[in-house]
Amino acid sequence: MERELAAAHAAVDEAVAVLRAGRDQPHTRTAKAAKDFLTEVDTASEDVLKRALGASTPDIGFYGEEGGGAALDEGRVWVVDPLDGTINYATGSPLCGVMVGLLEDGVPVLGVIDLPFLGTRVDSSGGALSDVSALDEGIVAVGDAFHRGGPRMDAFLDLGSEVHRRALRFRCVGAASVLWSWLVGGQIQGLFLAHNNPYDVVAGHAIARAAGAVVTDYAGAPLTLSSSGAMAAVPGIHAPLIDLAADLAAAAT
């Protein structure tokens, strides 16, 4: 899919320019949900991605975090997160990125992620996992769980505590784009997200799978659009991470 990969890279280039231009500007925060907001940079970046991808690949549908779009379970659809890690971005942290993934009949087939302020770009043409054979040799990261409540959130937080106890190191950075990029770059060996939002998962799923990572739901089943949550790991510690996630898997059903 050389044409599609080139189109994704070109669109990400334009979105990254929007993020860079808005970096030091004051941002208007528009509430989305409890403890969550978007800025004008989110919408400007999504507009750029939609225009660029529509011009280069008019035969492919579009779905964005902020504006929604085409149905995800049939045909070919671009799925984009125009500014992943909005709160990080708005508060001056470099831990944020742009994600563009391509679904084909609901299956991730291509992805590009750029972390503009870390100088990192990864795509589904390959990666460099750093495999380990034991959990205490691996660095494992979790996503934010601010939007969850009840038993599921409790189970997610308990999982984070167990990972912190058992893994070599624990990470939580507030941006799925960073976690996927670090997994395929060898900086971490596993990740758990608190959800399976397509704009946070599709690009990373395609990239991680192409690099040789194991991408599943919390119970170890193949990850699909209907899965209740997403995780990924290097082959050497996927099984023990699934064991640790048993309570979360049960709470998420």
Binding residues for Mg(2+): 65, 81, 83-84, 200
Element (H, E) at 157: helix 150-166
Token pair for residue 25? 């500007």
Q: How far is CA 10 from the centre of its chain?
A: 19
What is residue 123's three-state secondary structure?
strand
Pick from 106, 123, 116: nearest CA to 222: 106
Element (H, E) at 62: strand 61-64
B/e letters for 214-225, b = 16+ CB within 10 Å, e = fewer, are bbbbbbbeebee
Residue 37 phi, psi (nearest 5): -155, 165
Binding-site annotation: residue ranges? 65, 81, 83-84, 200
Q: How far is the C-alpha of 122 from the C-alpha of 141, rounded, in Å?
A: 18
Q: What Rg do the C-alpha atoms of the chain give, in angstroms?
A: 17
